[in-house]
Structure 1
Amino acid sequence: MSETPPSAVPGAQVPPGLDRILRDPGFCRHSTGRVSVVEWESGSGWSEPRIEPYDKLQMDPATLGLHYGQAVFEGMKAFRGADGSVSLFRAADHGRRLGRSAARLAMAEMPVELFTRACTELVAADERWVPAGYGQSLYLRPLLLATEAEMGLRPSRSYRCVFLAYPADPCFGSDFRPLAVTAATETVRAVRGGTGESKCAGNYAASLLTRTEAQAAGYDEALWLDGLERRWVEELSTMNVFFVWRGEDGPRLTTPPCDGTIVRGITRDSLLTLADDLGLPASEEPTSIDAVRDGIRSGGLAEMFASGTAGVVVAVGRLGTGGQDLIVGDGKEGPVTERLRTALLDVQHARTPDTHGWLLPVTGNAGAATIEGEGRHA
């Protein structure tokens, strides 16, 4: 964190300069100075959430989470509505996904109701930190970590979940400029049967070398292919990927299926639902990198974009593959990409009706949180 206001503790006054921070927060540069903490112990179970000042974690060097990788996390957002109210977006679905990630790593699974309560209490305490700009949010990062000190290889008997909060712009910028990505052909991030769909620390560590090399070569991100044939498109390091194909009856939207190797994105699921609302044909389909190349060259692939909580919806304008750079469409954001992002942000900022029950009100209602319905695809 570049700035952690010392006065930003439970019950403290809002720090000077907050208006300036909220006008240009960047992505997670400024902690609110508060965290919500929930702990689990074998035999006693989960604690109640508590709000604490942001501080360093004190850990034994033998902590199991450091040695054997029992660490999972979520990325989610709270938005300020057009009327000034604040709501969490799909909080229960994020809680369910954290539970699935934890289960895959043999960690304690936090009840969804407890997860949503910890989130709403933190957002309520930090309500003044929620920016009002379109596309801006209060970004929450719940981190669940094994905390027992023990050198034996086994699941921990204690866990701590720390919920961090930051005012934030989208991670690739609020201008949503098109990304340049390159297909990863020499390294693999995940294989079926592994932890590819879990939001665990190891998945992201496995992507860092290739992603760093891609950025050094002038790209924003790496596009991962399947681990067996190196043929089927999966996702970016931090975002799911979508394709917009030209058809006789208009555009058609596809995204690779979740088969255990890609993260089940909450934004991804939301876009599939919104596409249906907008009358845009959408489906989950295996897509080869050859089909993507051919589609770009023939013009049959009109648009390509990435989606995720941190980045929202951002076009892919250039694809590096097979030693060549291919320009998707005209290299600019296409109309379908822009339409879907606008539809998503309009719901998140309560500019349009929340017909799917995705918003969990927080302002003045932190103690009465209810659990919204499961998404169709998440």
Structure 2
Amino acid sequence: MYLNERPGLADFAKAIVDWQKQHGRHHLPWQDTRDAYRIWLSEIMLQQTQVTTVIGYYERFLKRFPTISVLAEAEQDEVMPYWAGLGYYARARNLHRCAQELATNWGGQFPESPEQIATLPGIGRSTAAAIAAFAYGKRSPIMDGNVKRVFTRYFGIYGVSSLRATEQLLWKTAEEAVHAAPDTLDMAAYTQGLMDLGSDCCTRGKPDCARCPLQASCYANTHGVQSELPTPKPKKTSPQRECKMLILQRQDQILLEQQVSPGIWGGLWSLPQYGDVAALEVACTNWGQPCRESQKMAGLLHVFTHFKLHIEPWHVVCDGAVVAEPGPRQAWVPVTELGATALPAPVKKILSGLFAL
């Protein structure tokens, strides 16, 4: 049971709507639209990614894929370069699959029901609710990281939010807040207001309670426990992994390998990876000798959600023709084309240090 059992859930929703209309964000490129495609694209891109990073990707993506049908007709290899560097690449693959399913089974349009939207690839309950609320005005509550922070603090909900019991209580509370609101509730403003409040006032580190429209009734504020809510997850050590990456250069070309899907970098082009220097040297021998340059470069640490990857790049320049032929997922890519190639962020960073992409 949540601790802040004050009545007045209708006032909760109204306060958020009033605050959003006066102080919330109104000038983002995906706002002021009822186009479910644009709303969906922004919601997927904003998962685990900051707004300032997303804006450029969002605009470039829409310029290339302006409609669901255009995205559905494209090959996945055409889509991935417009996601490269944004991370969490399964989102892009699911985005493409979802567009194809919409084109095949829904006439190229999103269904209006959040329950039906949630059956589509890569769309969870909260994202489906956001699409339904913004595009169709459906009274469907959302529950992303920002919203969890607002609800746990305001209602005094303790417990790690990823645990089933806590999550169920959060959703139950969100549903009650929506249903208690008057019929005239502006769902788009309420949904956006929750997001804005969590990112602007009710922040993770130092919440700005003085500017919050909920401060007077907020459990965390009145009890001084903002730092305790949401309940932090138990800390665990991230596994450490290592790999050697081969930057094999033949004149003005670099050897790249397309990564297998599904996978962390599935569909992207990366440098060949090896477990140790001995395996890398064997690979170089297979490609032919002599090599006039073999240089170990500065290492790079890349942090994923579930582990940390220590990358050790080796730059090898081959004289003349190489002996081996590229494998089925390998290709020699001109240096001048690397900037437009779908590269993972750490690989692009490594190559940029050599070739100023």
State the TM bucket, normalised to the shorter chain.
under 0.3
Which of 1 and 2 has greater Rg? Answer: 2
Normalized per residue, the structure richer in strand is 1
Q: Tell me the TM-score normalized by structure 1.
A: 0.24
Q: Tell me the TM-score normalized by structure 2.
A: 0.25
Normalized per residue, the structure richer in helix is 2
